[in-house]
Amino acid sequence: MPVVRFGVSLEKELLEELDAYVADNQLANRSQGIRHLLNNNIVKKKWKCNNVVAGSLTLVYNPHKRGIVHKLTSIQHEYHEVILSSQHFHLDHDNCLEIVAVKGKAVVLTELADKLQSLKGLQHGMLTMSKAN
């Protein structure tokens, strides 16, 4: 994709915020920072427009909690059409990490995440979405 150069005027405080963002995210320069911010904004807009997005669900739970493994599996089977893959890790005896790769309409992925995150015994759950195309 060709790069187009243009000038931007910013207040000093806003430029300082941009520089801090570039440093915090270990980006190479301000241009990369602006691209990063724009892409994040475009992705968020796609979520709101209910476009098809890709993402991951990260879940941490104690597998010994009564019924949680069965409930996680059951909910995932309800959403088989948006689940691409899942991977299970044993963090230690009492903690598992599950990463579920997903692709589908943002509202469906959010619904799936909400159902999983609301399960009693889940220690942490997070949905991350990105543009699919």
- What's the CATH number where 98 sits? 3.30.70.1150
Confidence grade of residue 1 (pLDDT, cut at 50, 70, 90): low
**Nearest-angstrom CA–CA distance, 121 and 62:** 7
Q: Do both 16 and 73 map to the same domain?
A: no
Predicted confidence band of residue 131 (pLDDT cuts 50, 70, 90): confident
Q: What is the pLDDT of residue 26?
A: 85
Average pLDDT score over the chain: 89
pTM: 0.69
Does 36 lie in the same domain as 81?
no
Residue 34, token pair as written in the block: 């602006």
Residues 6+ positions from 71 with CB-CB distance below 8 Å: 119
Give yes or no for a contact between 123 and 93, defined as CB atoms under 8 angstroms apart.
no
Kindly state whether residues 91 and 42 are assigned to the same domain: no
| Predicted confidence (pLDDT) at residue 33 exceeds the cutoff of 90 | no
Note whether 63 and 99 are same-domain residues.
yes
Residues 39 and 83 in one domain: no
Highest mean pLDDT among 27-31, 101-105, 107-111: 101-105
Together in a domain, 38 and 83: no
User: Rounded to an integer, what distance in angstroms lies between the CA atom of residue 86 and that of residue 93?
Assistant: 20
Same domain, 43 and 71: no
In a domain, 92, yes or no: yes
Q: Which residues constitute the domain of residue 21?
A: 12-48
Q: pLDDT tens, 41-71?
A: 776 676 666 788 999 999 999 999 999 999 9
